[in-house]
Amino acid sequence: MSELQQRIFTVTQSDAGVRLDKFLSTQMPDFSRSEIQRFDVVRTPAGPVKMSERVRVGDVYRVDIPAPVTTDATAAGAPDFDLDILYEDDDIIVINKPRGVVMYPSAGNHSGTLVQNILAHTHLSALGGATRPGVVHRLDKDTSGVMVFAKSDAAYRELVKTFAAHDLTRKYVTFVWGLPNWESADITGNIARSSRNRQKMTMVKTGGKPAHTEVTVADTWSRSRVSLLRCRLLTGRTHQIRVHLSVHGFPVLCDPVYGRGATRLGSVRNPELLEFLREHNGQMLHAEVLEFNHPTTGVPMHFKSRMPDDMQELKAILDDAQYA
């Protein structure tokens, strides 16, 4: 394990009068201001300081930086399922998440989570917190697909910036009810938590957060009135694709929250399709493509995962019904 690091900084005229935490963040750009606020800082020879104080010309500050902390893989116990690892190095690990798996421990989900299974394989950056180490983005429990996790602290910081700036490409594939009369569409509309049901998100005319989804039609099955859409996220709001598509009349198949399944099943005439829709758990939504620059090397990274078995089964049923 690395030993504690110590750095010394002297205030010059150009920095005089700024807050101490801001001064230190300019001197140590590899750390966020929230991280710096947790470091031990001393003004010599006066002693301990407050981060809110204003620095003066000639002030000398000593910063004690603790050794990087990562979560211990050996503490996670045995894995609950085999990981589908698409890529791994010292800084990141890219996983093809299965449907039905919760991201990290929470109320009612204390074991069998994706994070716990990754920890049984390797370590993750502790900067995400005790229950969310290395987590820089998330997928819903019943959404499958490509995800990246940070193993090093440096990777965590850069990936958080990348996702916040939407400086990456995220593409999804989904089966929806309905037959669009267009080949592509831009869907925009602010998304906020529903005031009626706090477990749901909704589009709002005022407030909320801006959301933007690009949608293209990949395939259609006219007899079943089902379409396959590809969606690119330009923002990353909770339930964004599911909300945007549902509001515009194309709810995701098997989506228990936004799918309006009960009102749609009555129109299904194919017995095999009807059985699939009634018995399947989890929305037909898959994170197919993830592209970003490597957080420490800057090398462009591209990952694509094929549709999971259940979505391929659904496609086969739709194909058979279309040409029966």
Contacts of 21 (CB under 8 A, 6+ apart): 33, 36, 37, 51, 52
How far apart, in whole angstroms, are the C-alpha atoms of residue 89 and residue 289? 19
The first and second tokens of residue 194, run together, are 């529903």
What is the set of active-site residues?
140
Classify the C-alpha dihedral 314-316-322-324 as positive or negative: negative
Q: Are 191 and 237 in contact (CB under 8 A)?
A: yes
Convert 207-228 to b/e letters by CB count within 10 Å (16 or more is b). Answer: ebeebbbebebeebbeebebbb
How far apart, in whole angstroms, are the C-alpha atoms of residue 229 and residue 244? 13
Convert 28-42 to b/e letters by CB count within 10 Å (16 or more is b). Answer: beebeeebbeebebe
Contacts of 57 (CB under 8 A, 6+ apart): 11, 12, 13, 16
The amino acid sitting at 96 is N
